[in-house]
Amino acid sequence: MASTEPPPPRQGPSERARRLLAAAGCGPPEIIALGILLTGALAAVGVLWLASRPGTVAGGRDPLLAPRKPARVVVHVAGEVRDPGLYRLKGGARIADALQAADGPRRTAAVDGLNLAQPLVDGEQIVVPGQVAAAPAAGAGGGEGPAGDGVQADGTVDLNLATPEELEELPDIGPVLAAAIVDHRETVGPFRTVDQLDDVSGIGEITLANLRPLVSV
C-alpha cells in the first residue's frame, strides 16, 4: 500500500545556504554577518554596473544631449575701440572680454548701449558705437572750429591742439608716443602737415598710414 504522507516541503536557496553554513559550524551571529557582507557586495556591484553604462552621467543626464560650449570663438570687433579687428577668444567669453582684447573702447565710445555680459557667438561682429556730438548753438564760434579740445567737428584729432589723452585714443598710440608727439610740436613747432608725424621717434610708415585718415593739422 502506497504511503500517504505528504512530500517534505522544498527548501529555498536561502534555507539551503543556512543549513550548509550551520553544518560547517557557523552559528547565527556568523550567518547574519555574512549575509550583511553579501548584501553590501551586491549593492556595490549594482552601483558600479549603473555607472559603467554608456550615455549616462551623474544625475542621469545624457552628455550627448547636454549643450556644449565651443573651445574657441572668432569675433570681429569694430567701431570705437582702440584696436579693431578679428579676435579668437575662449568659448563662453563675453562682449566685455572682446572689448578688452581690442585694447578697450575709445574715450568717444558709447558702451552703455551694449550688453557687456552677453556671451559671444562664433562669427559675431561687435560694433561699438560712438557718442553723438551735441549740435553747436547758433552763432557760437561759426561751427567750423574744433568740437572740443583737439577733436575736430569731422572727428579727426588735431595734432597741434590735442591733449596727450586725446592722442592716446588713436590706434597704435600709447602714452609714450602721445608724449613724443606733444614734445615734438613744443620743441620743433606746430605740425604743418600730417606727414610730419614721420619725424616723431617711434612712428613708422605703417603707423603713419593708419593715422593719416584720423588726424589733421
- For residue range 125-152, list pLDDT tens digits in order: 999 888 765 444 444 443 443 334 678 8
The C-alpha angle with vertex 164 and arms to 209 and 185, in degrees rounded to 5, equals 70
What is the per-residue pLDDT across 12-66, written as a single tens digit (0 to 9) for each? 556 666 666 666 666 666 666 666 777 777 777 766 766 666 554 445 555 555 5
Domain locations along the chain: 14-51, 72-128, 145-216
The beta-carbon contacts of 90-95 under 8 Å, at least 24 apart in sequence, are: 92/119, 93/119, 93/120, 94/118, 94/119, 94/120, 95/120, 95/126
CA distance 2 to 9: 19
What is the per-residue pLDDT across 62-120, written as a single tens digit (0 to 9) for each? 555 556 667 899 999 998 888 989 999 999 999 999 999 999 988 878 888 899 999 99
- The rounded radius of gyration (Å) of the Cα atoms in the chain is 40
How much is the pLDDT for 67?
Answer: 60
Phi, psi angles (nearest 5°) of residue 32: -65, -45
pLDDT value at 196 more than 50 = yes
- Identify whether the C-beta of residue 118 lies closer than 8 Å to the C-beta of residue 95: yes
72-128 CATH choice from 1.10.510, 3.60.40, 3.30.70, 3.10.20 = 3.10.20
What is the per-residue pLDDT across 172-183, written as a single tens digit (0 to 9) for each? 888 888 888 888
In the structure, how many helices (H) and strands (E) does the chain have? 6, 5
Lowest mean pLDDT among 22-26, 100-104, 188-192, 209-213: 22-26
How much is the pLDDT for 144?
Answer: 40
Contacts of 141 (CB under 8 A, 6+ apart): none
CA distance 95 to 193: 38
How much is the pLDDT for 137?
Answer: 46
CA distance 214 to 138: 27
How much is the pLDDT for 141?
Answer: 42
Q: How confident is the model at residue 124 (pLDDT cuts 50, 70, 90)?
A: very high
Nearest by Cα to 107 from 155, 171, 165: 165
How much is the pLDDT for 143?
Answer: 40
Please state the rounded mean pLDDT for residues 180-196: 86
How much is the pLDDT for 139?
Answer: 42
How much is the pLDDT for 151?
Answer: 81
Q: How confident is the model at residue 3 (pLDDT cuts 50, 70, 90)?
A: low
Architecture per CATH, 145-216: Orthogonal Bundle (1.10)
